[in-house]
Amino acid sequence: MEESYSPKIERLIDANLNRLKEGLRVIEDICRYIHDDQNLTSALKSLRHQLQESYALDRLNFRDIESDVQKRSTQSEQQRETLRDLIIANFSRAEESARVLEEVFKLNDVTSSERFKTTRYQLYALEKCYFQAYLFETPRINNTSNSKQS
């Protein structure tokens, strides 16, 4: 059974669970609506739903958006030129969050730590599958014309 953590650790867990699920959702929606890829969409959705099991509503008590010192996006976070950029950013976001959760749960919940390690490796495999399938499909997001850009 998981022991309680300090409010700051609970806040860190909450933020990283949210970040992980959000990153997965962006990738899932791209696979679903842009690529019409049933297999990747289903795998991402399944993983996201598994993560929901780790979500504890009582962690909401530790969420402190108002005093988050990094709640504003950096300039590089606001720039995405291609679908590939979006995918890379969101796989990275999800993988990094899984690693943070893996490490923080080592403090007193080894089972959860192992679960997030497994999640991280699942993400690496899904990322590889995505890029094997769509490596050369990198349309510009803001490209509304049919002409090719150089």
Distances (CA, A) of 33 to 6, 23, 40, 133: 40, 16, 12, 15
Instruction: State the pLDDT at residue 73.
Output: 62
Residue-by-residue pLDDT tens, the chain, 150 positions: 345 678 899 989 999 999 999 999 999 999 999 999 999 999 999 999 998 877 776 777 777 766 776 666 665 656 778 999 999 999 999 999 999 999 999 998 999 999 999 999 999 999 999 999 998 665 555 544 444 443
Domain coordinates of the chain in residue numbers?
Answer: 7-62+87-134
pTM: 0.80
CA distance 16 to 20: 6
CA distance 21 to 73: 18
The token pair at 141 is 């997001």
CA distance 62 to 55: 13
Q: From its phi and psi, is residue 144 left (phi > 0), alpha (psi between -120 and 50) or beta?
A: alpha
Instruction: State the pLDDT at residue 59.
Output: 73
Instruction: State the pLDDT at residue 72.
Output: 66
